[in-house]
Chains A and B, each alone.
Chain A
C-alpha cells in the first residue's frame, strides 16, 4: 500500500495529513524503516493487529461532496420556532461574536490554558465570564464553566454533601425542577448513596425539622413560576444544609439574585446569552459559590496573579483541587468544560452591557405578559400568577389540540399533561409572532394590540422583595464595547495574545491537537443544525437522527464495539457513563458486590475520580519501570478482589505512549475473574485502522471526538466523549427521558432486564440533552466521511511516524523514556529532562517557557512522569514544522549546557528568564548576562515570524495564595 500524499485536489486526506510522500520517505529513512506499513507492523503488537480490515465506512468523499451530503441531511431538519423552554431558548448570536469567536480558529483551535503566558486572551475572556456569572447570581466566585445546567446541579449537590457537615444523606429537590435535571440527579445520586426527596416547597413557614445536607431550588421554576425562596433557603441553612439555586441569568437582570436570597451555590446555563440551541449543545453551564466555598468548586477557575516583572497576569488557579492531582480523592471528575461557549456568553454580556441585557429581559417579560393576557382572553387559565418568560396554561380544551395548532403555525409548545401546556418567550420573539400566538391562544389580537404594557408597570408584576435593586456588570469591560468596531477590535486584541493551532504546532502529549479542518466546521452554524431545540418533535429532527445514527455506527465499526452513545459531553462523562454501564450490568445479574475498579498507577487521574463517582472503590495496580501494567501485580490484585472485581480501567496505548504487548493477557485475566474491561480511548489516534478495542478485550470505552475525531478544543471545551460498548453492556448505555428515539438495543439482547425498554431509555442519563452536543457532531461526521477507512488508517500511520521521527531526532539530546520492545513509541514520546535538571539546574518549566520564545506551545509537562515532556505531534503537522521544533529543542539543549558549564549564571539566563516580552527587552536598561537578540531571536527563522508572549512567567504560588477570580480594575494594568 502506498502512503498517502497530497496529490490530487479534492482528496481530503492529503490536506489533513501534513506529511506528503516525499516527507514521509525522508522521515522513514531517519528512523530506519522502508514504509509506514512496515513501521506500524513492528510498532503495533501482532496480537492486536487487525486481521480483517473490512469496514462499513463509505469510501472517502471530497470536501465538496461531503458538504453536499451534509446539506441534504440538514434539509431533513425542520426549524420551527421553539418555545418549549425547559432550559433552552432561542437567542440572537451577535454576528460580530459568531464571526470573530465561533468561526475564528484563533479561538476554537486553542488548547486549555495550561500555559498561562500564551493564553492571556482567553483567560481574560473567561474572567469576564466568571465576573458576569458571579455578579448576576450575587455570589462571590464563579468557575469558568460547567458542561451543562443539569450536570452543574449534580456538582452542586455533591459540593453540598462535602461542605455541609451534615450527617444526613438526604437532598431536597424542587418538584418544579427541569425534567432532565431530575433524571440526572436520580441517576447520579443513586450511584453515590444519596437519597432524593422531592418537594413543592409549599409549606409556609417551612418546617424547622428537615434534616437534609442540601436543597435544590429552580428559580424561576421549570413551569415558569416566580416565587420567593428566601424562607426555604433560611430554613435549610438553619439546620446545617446548603441551598443550591438554579437560576436563569437573563431573569436575574430583573429578579433578586440567589446570593441576596441567601443561596450558597448558584448553577445554571448561559445558553441564552448568544449560544445557539444546537439540538442540545454545546453550551456553557455555570456554577458560583459564596465566599468560603471557593476550594470546593469543581472544574476550572481562572484567577489573577502577577508575572516575573510584577505585572498582572491571568492563570488557572487552585489546580491542586482537580482530579489530575487528587485522583480517587477528587470530589469531581469535571476537567475542562465549555470554554468556547463561555467565551461567547461572556462576550454577549460585554457587547450588550448591563442596560442591554436588562432591556432584553424586560422585552421578554412584556411579551410574556402580552401572551398571558391573550391566553386569559382566549379562556385559558394561567397557572402561576408570577412569571418571567414562561407561562403554564390550564386549558379546558385538549392540550394536544393547542400544541398541534401552534405547530401548524410554526411554533413548538410543550405539552405538560392532558390539559396543561407551557411555552417560553425569548429575545427573538417578534411583534408579528405575538399576534399569531395570540390568535392561537384564542384571543382577539386586534383588541389586545393596544394593551402591550409599558416599562413602568414592571415593578408591579414582580413580587415584593424579588425586584432586583442591586447593580451588576459595573466593570468597564461591560460598559465599553457598544459599537461593532470596538467589539471586533477587543476580540482581535484578545485573540492576538494567544497561541493556537493557527500559529503553530501544539505538541501536547495525550491531547491530540490535530487539524480542525474548515470544511468540518462549516455546518456547525447552519441554522438547520444550530436552531433546533433538544426536545423538538422527532419529525423535526430526522436529519439529525440520521447523522447521529450514521456516526454511531461508524464509531462502533472503527472501535470494534456494537453500540455507541453520543450523549457524554466530555471524556470524563464518557468514563462515568461507561463505568455506570458496567455497574448496571453487574447489578442486573445480582452481582451487587462487584464494586472494585482496578486502575494502573500510570492512569490519568480522571479515571479514578470517575470510578468513585460511579460508586466504585479504586484499587491501584502497579506499573513496571517501562510504564506498562505490572502483570504479576495485576494478577495478584485480581485474585485478591476476585469476588468484588467490577472492572479494570486501562488506557491503550498506555499513558506513556507505548503499545503494551501484554494487553491481551491483561484483559483475559480480568474477564476470567468476572470483571469487565474499560479501555480509555484517549490515545485512539495511535490505533485507528490498525486495531480495535473491542477485538482485544475491551467491553466498553469512551472516545474523545475532540482528540481523535477533529472537534476543536475550543480553548478548553467543548468536548464530546461518546461511550462505546459490546452488546451485553448496550442496554446500560445512557438513555434520556426526552430522547426522540429510544436507545437501540442490539438484536438478541433482552430489552426488559428490569422494567422494559422505556425504563432503559431513562437509564444512566449523564447529560442534560439526549444527544449531548449535537451541533458539533457534523465535524466528526465530515472528518470520517472525507477520510474513509483508508484515510483514517493513513492518519494513524502518519501520527506514529511523526512521533517516532521526533523521538529519533531528539534522542541524542534528551533521553526518550519508555519505548516498546522494538524501540518504537506509539503516537507520542516522553523526553526525560531529569538528567538535564540534575546536571544544569534547568527545569521542565524553563524549557517549556523557553519554547514560547521559539514560537511553540510547550508539550505536556510532568505527565505522566514528573520532570518530563510528553510530545504528540499528530499527523497534521508537516515536516518543516517538525524540524522547526527539533531545531528549537536542540538549541534549548545547548543553552542549558551553557548554563551547566557556568557560561551564564543559574538565575540569569535565557531559560530562567523565559518567556521574554517585548516590553522586558525594550523598557529600561538591559543588564542581563545574554543579549536581547539571544532572548528574542535565538534562531534566524524567528526573524520572519515571531510570536511575542504578552506576559512574562506567571507566578503560580502568588495567585493561589492571593485568590482573586474576577475582572481586576483597569488601574491594575497601568
Chain B
C-alpha cells in the first residue's frame, strides 16, 4: 500500500494517489470519522467520464450523506467493488482497502494545475 504522506488532497477531504496518468481516489480518515459508520457507497460506472467539481458518488452513513466529488476531469477506469460490498472498509482502512475509484486523465499535468494539497497542507487544514 502506498504511503499516504505522498498523496495529494482536496479541500473536500479526498485523497489522490497519483501514478502517471492515473490516480486512485478515496476519502480521508478525517472525512470517514466525521461521517461515522459508513453503510452504503455508490460509485460511478467504469468507463464513465467525470468532470472536475461534479458529484460522482455518494457515501452514506447511519446519520449523514457525504458526496464524492471529481477532483479533475477524467475517465473512471476502476471502481472498488469491495467497498460497495463492505462499506465499513471506508471506516476501517480509508487510505487503503477503502479506496473508491481509479481515474485516468488525458494529460498528467492536470494534477499540477488542480488545487491539490500535499499531506502537510492537508493536516494543517483539518487542524491535526
Binding site for B on A (CB under 8 A): 295, 319-320, 325-326, 862, 956-957, 960-961
Contacts and interface: CB of A to CB of B under 8 A. Distances in A.
Contact of A956 (B37, B40, B60, B65): B37
Residues of A contacting B: mostly: helix
B39 A325 contact: no
What are the 7 tightest A-B residue pairs by CB atom distance, in nearest-first order?
A957-B37, A960-B39, A956-B62, A320-B60, A961-B39, A320-B65, A957-B62
B63 A325 contact: yes
A320 B87 CA distance: 15
B52 to A, nearest CB: 20
B88 interface: yes
Nearest to B86: A961
B75 interface: no
A845 to B, nearest CB: 10
A320 B36 CA distance: 12
Interface in B1-60: 36-40, 60
B62 A326 contact: no
B65 A960 contact: no
Which of A319, A320, A956 has the largest number of chain B CB atoms within 10 A?
A320
Contact of A325 (B37, B38, B65): B65
B44 to A, nearest CB: 14
A961 B38 CA distance: 9
B40 A295 contact: yes
A956 B61 CA distance: 10
Interface residues of B, number: 13
Given A320-B61, A320-B64, A957 B40 contact: no
A956 B36 CA distance: 11
Contacts of B37: 956-957, 960
26 contacts: A295-B40, A319-B62, A319-B63, A320-B40, A320-B60, A320-B61, A320-B62, A320-B64, A320-B65, A325-B63, A325-B65, A326-B65, A956-B37, A956-B63, A957-B36, A957-B37, A957-B38, A957-B61, A957-B88, A960-B37, A960-B40, A960-B62, A961-B39, A961-B40, A961-B87, A961-B88
Contacts of B62: 319-320, 956-957, 960
Contacts of B65: 320, 325-326
Nearest to B91: A957
A319 B37 CA distance: 13
A547 B61 CA distance: 46
B63 A320 contact: yes
A166 B40 CA distance: 24
B110 to A, nearest CB: 28
A59 to B, nearest CB: 48
Contacts of B38: 957
Contacts of B88: 957, 961
A862 B64 CA distance: 12
Contacts of A326: 65
A295 B42 CA distance: 11
Interface in B83-128: 87-88
A320 B59 CA distance: 10
Which of B38, B60, B62, B63 has the largest number of chain A CB atoms within 10 A?
B62
Nearest to A326: B65
Nearest to B85: A961
Given A320-B60, A325-B65, A862-B63, 12 more contacts: A295-B40, A319-B62, A320-B63, A956-B62, A956-B63, A957-B37, A957-B88, A960-B37, A960-B39, A961-B40, A961-B87, A961-B88
Contacts of A956: 37, 62-63
B65 to A, nearest CB: 5
A308 to B, nearest CB: 14
Contacts of A320: 39-40, 60-65
Which of A295, A325, A862, A961 has the largest number of chain B CB atoms within 10 A?
A961
Nearest to A327: B65
Contacts of A961: 39-40, 87-88
A611 B87 CA distance: 32
Contacts of B63: 319-320, 325, 862, 956
A870 to B, nearest CB: 16
A297 to B, nearest CB: 14
B26 to A, nearest CB: 19
Nearest to B61: A320
A862 B39 CA distance: 20
B120 to A, nearest CB: 26
Contacts of A325: 63-65
Which of B39, B60, B87 has the largest number of chain A CB atoms within 10 A?
B39
A326 B37 CA distance: 17
A862 B62 CA distance: 13
Contacts of A295: 40
Contacts of B61: 320, 957
A208 B125 CA distance: 57
A319 B87 CA distance: 16
Contacts of A319: 62-63
A81 to B, nearest CB: 50
Interface string B67-85: 0000000000000000000
A712 to B, nearest CB: 28
A961 B64 CA distance: 14
A531 B37 CA distance: 48
Contacts of A862: 63
A316 to B, nearest CB: 10
Contacts of B39: 320, 957, 960-961
B87 to A, nearest CB: 6
Nearest to B87: A961
A304 B61 CA distance: 17
A795 B65 CA distance: 39
Contacts of B87: 961
A961 B37 CA distance: 10
A325 B62 CA distance: 10
A6 B39 CA distance: 51
A957 B37 CA distance: 6
A59 B38 CA distance: 56
Nearest to B63: A320
Contacts of B64: 320, 325
A326 B87 CA distance: 19
Nearest to A960: B39
Nearest to A956: B62
Nearest to A315: B62
Contacts of A957: 36-39, 61-62, 88
Nearest to B37: A957
Nearest to B39: A960
A319 B40 CA distance: 12
A320 B63 CA distance: 6
A960 B35 CA distance: 14
Contacts of B40: 295, 320, 960-961
A960 B37 CA distance: 10
